[in-house]
Amino acid sequence: MAFKKQLEDYRFNLSRNRSWKYTAMLIFFFIGFLSLRTSKFYLQTEDPLYHTKTYESISSNITGTVTI
């Protein structure tokens, strides 16, 4: 019985009042989500995209000639 009491005391109750740990976790995820959504504005990197040309034959030792 003593072990069960220690285990119940170890857990923090999130259902009664919001604990500071739950609030801190929510704020952390919210700030992380906002930073990912707004990163386009403060990370101004426009890397060019390189596309593979279509209907061009590519030769390979393993598969032979492949047309994309």
Q: What is the pLDDT of residues 14-46, one digit of tens each?
A: 566 667 788 889 999 999 999 888 887 877 777
- Domain span including residue 3: 1-46
Entry pTM? 0.41
Report the pLDDT value the prediction gives residue 28, as an integer from 0 to 100.
95
Say if 42 falls within a structural domain.
yes
60: tokens are: 């390979």
Say if 13 falls within a structural domain.
yes
Say if 36 falls within a structural domain.
yes
Q: How far is CA 31 from CA 19, 22, 28, 38, 45, in A?
A: 19, 14, 5, 10, 22
3-state secondary structure of 17: coil
Strands (E), 1-68: 57-60, 64-67
Tokens 């386009």, located at residue: 40
| Tally of domains in the chain | 1
Burial, 48: exposed, middle or buried (Cβ in 10 Å; 0-12, 13-18, 19+)?
exposed
